[in-house]
Structure 1
Amino acid sequence: MPSLADPATQGGGSPDRGTPDHDPSGSERPGRLDRVLSVIERAGNALPNPIALFASLFAVLAAVSTALALAGVTVTVPGTDDTKAINGLFSGAGLRWLLENLIPNFATFPPIAAVLVMIMAVGLAEKAGLLETLMRATLARAPRSVLPYAVALIACQAHMMSDVASIVLPPLAAMVFKSAGRHPVAGLIGGFACVGAGYAAGFTIGSLDALYVGITQQAASVLPAADGLDIHLLINYFFTASSSIVLGMLGGFLISRVLEPRLGTYRPADDEPENEDLTLTPAQRRGLLRTGLVLALYAAAVLVLWLPSGAPLRGEGGAFVPSPVLSGIVPVLFGAFLLSGLVYGYTVKSLSGTEDVVAAMSASVRNMAGYVVLMFVAAQVIAVFNWSNVGVLLAVKAAALLNSIGLTGFWAVVAFVLLVACLNLFIVSGSALWSLVGPVFVPAFMLLGMTPALSQAAFRIGDSATGIITPMNPYVFLLLAMLRRYEPDARLGTLISRLAVFVVPFLVVWLAILGIFYGFGLPLGPGAGIEMPGR
């Protein structure tokens, strides 16, 4: 990761290619933006690795739980007669519990299996070339005037591809912009901004959703009220799907009307490569057609097994919600991605046999090794929160604090979004950040009458909006390297200032969308309302 003090990345270069941004004296004076970014980078660098951070939190939690247990602290869940004593980890009972549950804590941690299952199938589709071909097919056909909106809409669906989206979509958008006679930097930066700032939106379902909902389930389980809730993969689907349309239109407007006009006229260098041909090959078109037909048949089969009266995938009493389709949506999606990757890969011959399939899926899982280690430690922390009852204590105290200062209802949600947005400048890992704040705020909001689905939706907003402007995001520096293909003298300050155009509008509009759901009591997903049952 380059340092902000590096002259090659500091400052705020000119939008015109090759124009230096030196002050007349020949010395570089960092601007206010650079100073703010330097503070963020230094503060972020001072944080330990997320795994070390959770290990430290585990030690602190163990000590605090023991001290509270020795002091005889108890907590009563409001509205119940359930009084819980704090259990200390550094005690005979605590050590026995840890020895007996260290492995089960990890093995039964909900995000682990769901994320790895999803990443295998999505990784196969990505390695087969299906996802990139889909983006090429969509963008290459977009008219010049519609292109910014097409890029933004696709970018707001891209979390399905996980981090690959930040690598593949921006340069592809730049090539499409250039071939259409528009400024390639607008496509590059706009594509990246919409992928990041709208990362948790979309019609698409991926490993991110499995990750969030697994942690949400664990966080909610500390309260008895969670027993009556159906927390499944689609609890935010209505919210994220509708948000992706609005944010896509907003992103297209910002690219077309705010970002691109400020870039000036693009002047390609003499040695710059010619426009890349984005036309799909006959094999790629055939692959997309076959994949579409197979997916349509697969979806029809799932619906036939779910929708008709008496269908085997109906819920208890013939209910649509909850039902095995929703509780088992991960295997359903796994099948869809697996079929898509196989059909496309064998059609275009990017997959030639079972060895290629296994290698593609294995590579995807191998790339998740760091995540697995992080989840091992996070699982222990969350388990100690639950077993010790410290999580309940913190949730009750947090709810009482919000009540005492008048932050209830939607204003409490807004405050939570802003808190997450600030923390996201320093902890860019969504899994790490949700594992930190979820065990406290999910039950705290439940005590205030708000469902875990609402807490998770609010977290999505704060965790997405500010990630594109923090130096702690390694993909920002990858984007800077891509930008220098078009603007060799581009600097980090210039890049961040352009990305910042998207942060506040996305944050405000996304909060407004959540406010509409909240104000009208609209469900955030199937069977996932705003208020806790019985309110």
Structure 2
Amino acid sequence: MEKVKVQNTKKKGLFNVFLNMIEKVGNKLPHPVTLFVLFSIAVIIISDLAARAGVFVEFTMVDAATKEVKLTTVQAISLLNADGIRYMFSKAVSNFTGFAPLGTVLVAMLGVGVAEGTGLIQAALRKLVLSTPKGLITAVVVFAGVMSNVASDAGYVVLVPLGAIVFLSFGRHPLAGLAAAFAGVSGGFSANLLVGTIDPLLGGISTEAAKLFSPGYTVAATANWYFMIASTFLITILGTLITEKIVEPRLGEYKGSAKVDLHNLTSEEKKGLAAAGVALLLYVVAIAAMVVPANGILRDPEAGTILGHSPFMDGIVPIIALFFLIPGIVYGIFAKTVKNDKDIAAAMGKAMSTMGGYLVLAFAAAQFVSYFGYTKLGTILAVKGADFLKATGMTGFPLIIGFIIVSAFINLFIGSASAKWAIMAPVFVPMLMAVGYSPEFTQVAYRIGDSTTNIISPLMSYFAVIVAFAEKYDEEAGIGTLISTMVPYSIVFLLGWSILLVAWYFLGWQLGPGVTMFLQ
């Protein structure tokens, strides 16, 4: 798919003028690669100034490995001293190869590339378009995005680009589809109908923080389940309304050259889809046979669990890749779009060839994220933000709202949900327990703030990936385009989710099985 320059007529109105200004200013900035290089230089300079000034913070945190609560002192670390300079040179390669989104994207694209190269994705999308009511497609894309966080980060590399293609299939602006999927995957990160990988992770940290106040307290993985089920429908509704009432009208009609052929399926394509469906079903059954039994091969061999660091969750990316690869090959054989193994290898190679620009962007982004973590500037900002909230003297529910806002702000600088919570939980969980609020209630408030600003933070690991996807449809799309498109989701999600929590609070409903908002 060639990059195209897209001309759109932006809608007027105060809010749209504000968004247009964000986009204009953001896109006037240098290329995203250059921008991440400049960010890295800024971190280098700021880290040296902070280290020379002796900037440090002391705080109690939960150790991620041992789950022990300990007093920690963190000082700003300079990148301009001997150790820092050695770090930048010696870690440049490992920063890049260890950049979380890199392997996820490339491995997943091997499978997706085959499914696209053989024609499976195009045929499946035509089937979807011809059989799905147009009025439901936005909600389906957002809902699928929210549900995808069960599969860890797979939604970023599979659903976000598919959202763009689905919208294009319906004759709608592909960037609106990309935004809708991204809003569901990342803005609705904590919501789900199922208990996901983040639930036991946060629950373990909350448990250790709660023990500072009540030694025997335990926060279960299902502590926020009921609230997150309701949140799934809330985010789906809000995401649908924002896409159709704000984002899509603002983007206007798509003028690019990218098209999706909507002709009826041929008999060979129908045979290919049927065979691919059978192959996919057999694959899912095979995976289930290794996961569902108590002694399943892909369960944790010691604990027997699925969530956490089980082979299933650790291997979710190759599992997703095979989810596309196997049906893609079978489709190609039955639809006669694949003659031999060379065609499959060529499809994989073509998929990799389209990722050149992303690889350059990922290298620059990886250095910036690594520098930010090494210098401890993110940790210092998080602790200072928590200290500021404590110093306001707020109590009761206003403190909860303030806590959500501070969490959302800190999330702009530290992307990891567990890293932020490890710092903030020992401060706020005991503080709010002292005034009668349960740790589960504090945790759910944190999750609202932690999710809603993911989609507007360049520090979020997959932000560079989404920018690269957007550039496929508009060569002038940049950080400004993506942030201005996602700001409405971030604002409305933050307000809507907070209102839901207020309503939940006054109705006195349980947050999860047997879990109340107040200490018993």
| Same fold, TM-score > 0.5, yes or no | yes
1:170 paired residue among 163, 167, 170: 167
The match for 2:75 is 85
The match for 1:437 is 413
Q: 1:15-56 CA distances to partner (integer Å, 9 max, x unpaired)?
A: xxxxxxxxxxxxxxx765775455334312332222222212
The match for 2:140 is 153
Residues 76 and 83 in structure 1, CA contact (< 8 A), matched pair in contact too: yes
The match for 1:61 is 43
Amino acid corresponding to residue 65 of structure 1 in structure 2: S
Q: 1:112-134 CA distances to partner (integer Å, 9 max, x unpaired)?
A: 11221112212221232222322
The match for 2:367 is 380
Amino acid corresponding to residue 391 of structure 1 in structure 2: G
| Unpaired runs of at least 5, structure 2 | 62-69, 146-154, 187-195, 197-207, 210-223, 250-260, 430-441, 459-466, 475-484
In the alignment, the residues of structure 1 paired with residue 402 and residue 471 of structure 2 have an alpha-carbon distance, to the nearest angstrom, of: 32
Residues 62 and 88 in structure 1, CA contact (< 8 A), matched pair in contact too: yes
Distance 1:245 1:292, change over 3 A: farther
The match for 2:102 is 112
The match for 2:273 is 288
In the alignment, the residues of structure 1 paired with residue 8 and residue 183 of structure 2 have an alpha-carbon distance, to the nearest angstrom, of: 29
Amino acid corresponding to residue 52 of structure 1 in structure 2: T
The match for 1:365 is 352
Quote the sequence identity (%). Answer: 25
Residues 391 and 439 in structure 1, CA contact (< 8 A), matched pair in contact too: no
Distance 1:504 1:370, change over 3 A: same
1:132 paired residue among 97, 122, 139: 122
Residues 385 and 406 in structure 2, CA contact (< 8 A), matched pair in contact too: no
The match for 1:201 is 184
Amino acid corresponding to residue 319 of structure 1 in structure 2: T
Does 2:44 correspond to 1:44? no
Q: Secondary structure at the match of 1:149?
A: helix
1:123 paired residue among 103, 113, 119: 113
Distance 1:167 1:392, change over 3 A: closer
In the alignment, the residues of structure 2 paired with residue 88 and residue 293 of structure 1 have an alpha-carbon distance, to the nearest angstrom, of: 57
Does 2:404 correspond to 1:413? yes
The match for 1:313 is 298
The match for 1:216 is none
Distance 1:459 1:81, change over 3 A: closer
| Unpaired runs of at least 5, structure 1 | 13-29, 175-187, 204-212, 214-224, 227-235, 263-275, 421-433, 480-497, 524-528
Distance 1:73 1:507, change over 3 A: closer
Q: 1:359-407 CA distances to partner (integer Å, 9 max, x unpaired)?
A: 2222222222222222222222222223232232222112222333457
In the alignment, the residues of structure 2 paired with residue 55 and residue 321 of structure 1 have an alpha-carbon distance, to the nearest angstrom, of: 37
Q: Secondary structure at the match of 1:81?
A: strand
Distance 1:388 1:403, change over 3 A: same
Distance 1:355 1:456, change over 3 A: farther
Q: How does 1:215-254 map to 2 (within 5 A)?
A: none
Q: Secondary structure at the match of 1:305?
A: helix
The match for 1:101 is 91
Residues 3 and 9 in structure 1, CA contact (< 8 A), matched pair in contact too: no
How many Å apart are 1:456 and its aligned residue?
8.0
How many Å apart are 1:60 and its aligned residue?
1.8
Q: Secondary structure at the match of 1:78?
A: strand
Distance 1:408 1:296, change over 3 A: farther
Does 2:328 correspond to 1:341? yes
In the alignment, the residues of structure 2 paired with residue 99 and residue 131 of structure 1 have an alpha-carbon distance, to the nearest angstrom, of: 42
In the alignment, the residues of structure 2 paired with residue 465 and residue 391 of structure 1 have an alpha-carbon distance, to the nearest angstrom, of: 17
Distance 1:350 1:457, change over 3 A: farther
In the alignment, the residues of structure 2 paired with residue 364 and residue 452 of structure 1 have an alpha-carbon distance, to the nearest angstrom, of: 40
Residues 149 and 253 in structure 1, CA contact (< 8 A), matched pair in contact too: no
In the alignment, the residues of structure 2 paired with residue 100 and residue 465 of structure 1 have an alpha-carbon distance, to the nearest angstrom, of: 31
Does 2:382 correspond to 1:395? yes
Distance 1:3 1:509, change over 3 A: same
Aligned length: 413
Q: Secondary structure at the match of 1:437?
A: coil
In the alignment, the residues of structure 1 paired with residue 125 and residue 326 of structure 2 have an alpha-carbon distance, to the nearest angstrom, of: 19
In the alignment, the residues of structure 1 paired with residue 46 and residue 241 of structure 2 have an alpha-carbon distance, to the nearest angstrom, of: 50
Distance 1:36 1:127, change over 3 A: same
Amino acid corresponding to residue 339 of structure 1 in structure 2: I
How many Å apart are 1:150 and its aligned residue?
4.2
Amino acid corresponding to residue 295 of structure 1 in structure 2: L
How many Å apart are 1:96 and its aligned residue?
2.1
Residues 57 and 381 in structure 1, CA contact (< 8 A), matched pair in contact too: yes
Q: Secondary structure at the match of 2:74?
A: strand
Q: TM-score, normalised by structure 1?
A: 0.61
Distance 1:10 1:33, change over 3 A: farther
Choose 72-81 or 119-128, whichever is displaced more. 72-81
Q: 1:317-361 CA distances to partner (integer Å, 9 max, x unpaired)?
A: 322333211122112112211112111122212333323222222
How many Å apart are 1:314 and its aligned residue?
1.9
Choose 243-252 or 378-387, whichever is displaced more. 243-252
Distance 1:313 1:95, change over 3 A: same
Q: TM-score, normalised by structure 2?
A: 0.63
How many Å apart are 1:102 and its aligned residue?
1.9
Does 2:423 correspond to 1:447? yes
The match for 2:283 is 298
Amino acid corresponding to residue 437 of structure 1 in structure 2: F
Q: 1:265-310 CA distances to partner (integer Å, 9 max, x unpaired)?
A: xxxxxxxxxxx86432222222222112111211111221222232
